[in-house]
Structure 1
Amino acid sequence: MERIIAVFRKYPIIPSMMTYSVLYPSANFVQQKYFRKYKPGEEKIDWQEIKRFCIYGGLIHAPLVYNWLRTAARLFPKTTMSHLLAKVALDQTLFAPVGLSSFYIGLSVLEGKDSQGVYDEWREKLPNTWATGMCIWPFLTFLNFWLVPARLRTIFVGFCGFFWFTFLSYLKIRPDGFTPPVVLLYNKYINQSNFSQIITNTRYYIVKFIIH
């Protein structure tokens, strides 16, 4: 056991890959079991799909996340607020679209889709998935770089992302698009009919704050 722990400490990417090879297929299983709608007579669990999630999670996504977290920590090694915010900003603007593209492209290739099919799914689903992730991951990324030891950061992302993986699994098999939360909020609160009223109220409270 001590020898295994020593290997894991020396090569932290190994436990990260092992963790993702369990979390990804588990999330897909949960999605299939509890959230997917089946037609009458259709098989309940697609084990080939679960196998693809296992391969992708362990061999592709885990190394991708691991190397990104190391790179971000090297670029901004301090735990000051400026460095933490810089890492969060880079994570959401640079890594997030790469990671999500890897997810859709990687699994589509494993499914055997042709290049046009891979591109169509990526183009259709990436923007809204990215927008949804912007509502979730900045806070978790901040905590990860602030509180979690470097060797455990990939695993932390994996465990925090279990429900995110389940959501991605749902989006992967969804034939139509979906509306991300930020768009719903925009349509509800910042549409053309009440945008001017929001600006007016904002100005009023700012002036009131300055006067007092």
Structure 2
Amino acid sequence: MALEFCCPRRARCYSSKKVDRRDVASPVEREGADLAAQVSGFGGSDGQFSFEGFSSASSSCIDGESIERQLESGRLIDRTINAMIVLGAGTYAITKLLTIDHNYWHGWTLFEILRYAPQHNWSAYEEALKKNPVLAKMMISGIVYSLGDWIAQCYEGKPLFEYDRTRMFRSGLVGFTLHGSLSHYYYQFCEELFPFQDWWVVPAKVAFDQTLWAATWNSIYFTVLGFLRLESPASIFSELTATFWPMLTAGWKLWPFAHLITYGVIPVEQRLLWVDCVELIWVTILSTYSNEKSEARLSEAAVEASSSSLPSSPEE
């Protein structure tokens, strides 16, 4: 009886101890399994440690530094090229102006060279107007429009040698190919349109210049620059309609006073040179305004593109 009584009891005791051991061991085993899973997260199938996460992060940092170095190298090359263009063009221009009489310098003093240089440069300019007036005026307008755009970029806050060469080339190309030649024929047409010597002729020419001719030239300038920037016709037309009236009225703050001298004092063949000198101010305004509108339009297009690319939230 005792044996029969004790055996079940011992069995119950043994079974209860096994249950307790399982209850105690199971949290330990789970902790060990979690630790093994964490360790295996850093390693491969063999349980060895791996540094893939660290290597990817370090490689991304290296790639970022490499890209930054490449960008800085590109900016340095651009600044060097821009400096060479500015210094080269300036040196060439000053040399040509000062050495106009180099064939006659024998025995001249420095004072005599500087004294006669302006007079003889003017004589050379008049001779060029007689030989090929259109080409001479095209050259002047191309130089003025390039210089004006460079001044505009410096006025916008860009460093002296970090200007946009492509933008300056576009403006100079428009000045060379269109402004010089069209202005040459326009001033001749204006003289034939008003062949009188009365007092009202000069105000009439100024009014005609600041309405029909100014509107025509501003439209040509903005349209051609838009095509050179590879913009769509719709975008060019939108820019033209947005800037037409503001630019026309902005010109009235400067040009009517300048054109009182243009049509009242300056001879016909010399008018473009005088106008181009004033254009250094006007091209700065014109180029700045054109590029501000273009950059604003591009930023708006980028915002619209990014907003349209965002996925719409699903309806609940």
Q: TM-score range by the shorter chain?
A: 0.7 to 0.9
Quick one: percent identity of the two aligned structures? 23
| 1:26 aligns to 2:144 (yes or no) | no
Letter in 2 for 1:28: D
Larger Rg: 2
SS of the residue corresponding to residue 116 of structure 1 reads helix
Q: Partner residue of 1:173?
A: 291
Contact 1:53–1:107 (Cα < 8 Å) also in 2: yes
Partner of 2:87: none
Aligned to 2:187: 69
Specify the SS of the correspondent of 1:18. Answer: helix
Confirm whether residue 160 of structure 1 aligns to residue 278 of structure 2: yes
Take 1:65 and 1:4, find their aligned partners in 2: how far apart are those partners?
Answer: 17
Normalized against structure 1, the TM-score is what? 0.74
AA paired with 2:226? S
Q: Which runs of 4+ in 1 moved over 6 A?
A: 1-4
Within the candidate set 206, 217, 223, 1:88 is matched to 206
Pairing 1:36-115 to 2, within 5 Å after superposition: 36=157, 44-115=162-233
Does structure 2 conserve the Cα–Cα contact (< 8 Å) formed by 1:97 and 1:130?
Answer: yes
The alignment yields a C-alpha RMSD, in angstroms, of 2.3
Partner of 2:52: none
Aligned length: 173
Deviation at 1:5, TM superposition (A): 5.3
CA displacement 1:115-174 (0-9 Å, x = unmatched): 111111111111100011112111211211111111111111111111110011110111
Instruction: Mark the CA change 1:5 to 1:137 in structure 2 (over 3 Å): closer, same or farther.
Output: closer
**Contact 1:84/1:145 (8 A) holds in 2:** yes
In structure 2, how many angstroms separate the alpha carbons of the residues matched to 1:119 and 1:171? 16
The alpha-carbon deviation at position 64 of structure 1 amounts to 1.8
Match of 2:136 among 9, 12, 15: 15
Give the 3 Å change call, closer, same or farther, for CA 144–48 of structure 1 in structure 2. Answer: same
* Paired letter, 2:144: L
Higher mean C-alpha displacement, 109-118 vs 79-88: 79-88
Rate the CA distance shift 1:164–1:4 in 2: closer, same or farther, 3 A.
Answer: closer
The 1-side partners of 2:150 and 2:250 are apart by 22
Q: 1:51 deviation in Å?
A: 0.8
Say if 1:79 and 1:145, in contact at 8 Å, map to a contact too. no
Question: In the alignment, is the contact (CA less than 8 A) between 2:218 and 2:244 conserved in 1?
Answer: yes
Q: 1:174 is matched by which residue type in structure 2? A: E
| Unpaired stretches in structure 2, ≥5 consecutive residues | 1-99, 101-122, 298-316
TM-score (norm 2): 0.51
Residue number in structure 2 paired with 1:130: 248
| Secondary structure at 1:44 match in 2 | coil
The AA in structure 2 aligned to 1:9 is K
1:4 deviates by 8.0
